[in-house]
Structures are given as structure tokens and as C-alpha cells.
A and B are shown apart, each in its own frame.
Chain A
Amino acid sequence: MTLSAYLTVAGLLFCIGLFGALTRRNTIGILMGIELMFNAANLNLVAFNRFLHFDRLDGNVMTLFIIGVAAAEAVVGLALVVAIYRNINTIYAEDFNLLKG
């Protein structure tokens, strides 16, 4: 397989996640789109590591860090969703308008 095949899959996955994050009304759906984008970036890092710098492992280590940060982001984001749902009883992003008064 060539490097561009892996990069194309990662790019498609990124654009699918971007589309989901932009179009979903549901906050959990937006978070799922962001997770897909994280995974596409990880795939890119690992592919570049394997094809261009096969004697080093920096891409793999960076991917591990991204996985850790993404897990922390998902935990805090989902806790916020639960807290917002408990307060205003909806999880749709267009209903989050408390600051309009």
C-alpha cells in the first residue's frame, strides 16, 4: 500500500467528522464528530511515522498523547452535557440560549 492510500482514508474520515460536527443538532452527536476527527489525525500521524520515519517512534508517542487528551475532552464534554440537560432539560445546541436573557 502507498502512503497516499492511508492519508486518503484519514482525510475522508476527517471530513465526515467535520460534516457531523457542523450539522448535528444533538450535542452528543457533535462530540462524536469531534472524536472521528481526532481519530483521523491519529491515523495520519501513525501513517507518516511508519512510511517516512520508520526508524523512530515519535509519531506513535504523539498519538498516545492525543488519545489521552481526547479521552479527557470526551469525559469533561459529556459531563457538561449531562449538567446542561439537568438544568434546561434539552441537549439540542440551538436551545442553549440562556445568555440571551
Chain B
Amino acid sequence: MEQIVFYSLSAVALGAGLAVVLMRNVLHSALMLGLALMAVAGLFGSLGADFLFAGQIVVYVTGVAVLVLFVVMLAGRESDLHSVQTNEKWPLALAIAGVTFCGLWRLFCTYSNTMVRTPAVPTTEGIGILLLSDYALPFELISLILLAALIGAIHFSRAEEKQ
């Protein structure tokens, strides 16, 4: 059962990720990004991280993916649908990605016998305690970063003032 869940979610995540990268219509790849992020949320769930499962759905799928969709619709033109969407250096990029994966694969092989030994327990209470004890300072800093991002986004995207 666990293996069925893992393999189906991984197939969805990797297939949707490839579609994000390769599809010509940017709107379609933004929709595929939502699907890939949802599959990653499912993988979080299969790893026993229930709070992150909910957080991933709330922040990424309904936040970032929808925002990307909005910007695609705001900043797109019809001629985009007929032009090639990748640059001419793609063999080089493929080589870089392949070499990176080969290096990572050598590292991953050292964990090929590590199995999970304990049953999954709810994590929300522990995360809340950690956020307000050991990680209190980063927690406050992240709220500052979010505020700065909010102000920056408003500043960059507001309409030009009439002179």
C-alpha cells in the first residue's frame, strides 16, 4: 500500500514537473505546476508530515500557483503561443542537470538501506512548540520578510502616477 502511494505520487510529481518545463503554452505549464506542487504535498503526507501537507496546499497550491496563473494572464500575448519557449542552449542545460543528478545519485546510494522504524505521529503540536522556543527569532524574522515582500510587491506593481 505504501509503495503504491509512493510510486503513484512520484510519477505524478515528476510527470507534472516535466510538463512544467517542456510545455509550450505557459498557461498550461502554470496549471501543471499546481499539479506538481499538490503531488509534493501528497509525498509530505506519506512522510508523516501532516502540518506541512496542509501548509503546502494552502501556501503553494492555492497561493503561489494561482498567483503565477494571474501573472501569466496579465503579462501574456497571443504571439507567445506560436514562438519557441526554450533558448538555444538547451543541450548544455541538459548536460548540467544530468551531471548534477549523477553527483546527487552517488550520495543517495549511501542511504539505500535506511528504512523508517517508528510509526508516524501528529507533528502540529511539536512544530508549534519549536516555533515559539528554539526558533523564535527566525519565526519573527520570517514575519518581517513577509511584510517587506508585501510592501515591495505593492510598490513594484502599482500604477504609474500621472505627472
Please report A residues at the B interface, Cβ cutoff 8 Å.
1-9, 11-20, 22-26, 28-29, 31-33, 35-36, 39, 42-43, 46-47, 49-52, 54, 57-58, 60-61, 63-65, 67-76, 78-83, 85-86, 91, 94
Contact = CB atoms under 8 A, between A and B. Distances in A.
A71 B64 contact: yes
Nearest to B27: A28
26 contacts: A1-B3, A11-B104, A11-B105, A15-B100, A16-B14, A18-B96, A19-B97, A20-B20, A22-B96, A25-B85, A29-B85, A32-B20, A32-B33, A39-B36, A57-B126, A60-B123, A61-B130, A61-B135, A65-B138, A67-B56, A71-B64, A74-B64, A78-B153, A79-B157, A91-B75, A94-B87
Given A2-B115, A24-B86, A51-B114, A7 B108 contact: yes
Interface of B: 2-3, 6, 10, 13-14, 17-18, 20-21, 26, 29-30, 33, 36-37, 40, 43-44, 47-49, 51-52, 55-56, 59-60, 63-64, 67-68, 71-72, 74-76, 80, 84-87, 89-90, 92-94, 96-98, 100-101, 104-105, 107-109, 111-118, 120, 123, 126-127, 130-131, 134-135, 138, 142, 145-146, 148-150, 152-154, 156-157, 160
Given A80-B156, A82-B157, 16 more contacts: A2-B115, A3-B111, A4-B109, A15-B104, A16-B20, A19-B21, A20-B21, A43-B40, A46-B47, A54-B116, A70-B64, A79-B156, A81-B71, A82-B71, A85-B74, A91-B76
Q: Which of B30, B55, B114, B154 has the most CB of A within 10 A?
A: B114
Contact of B13 (A9, A68, A74): A9
A79 B153 CA distance: 5
A8 B108 contact: yes
A12 to B, nearest CB: 6
B6 A1 contact: yes
B20 A46 contact: no
A82 B75 contact: yes
Q: What does DSSP make chain B's interface, helix, strand, loop or mixed? A: helix
B108 A4 contact: yes
B105 A18 contact: no
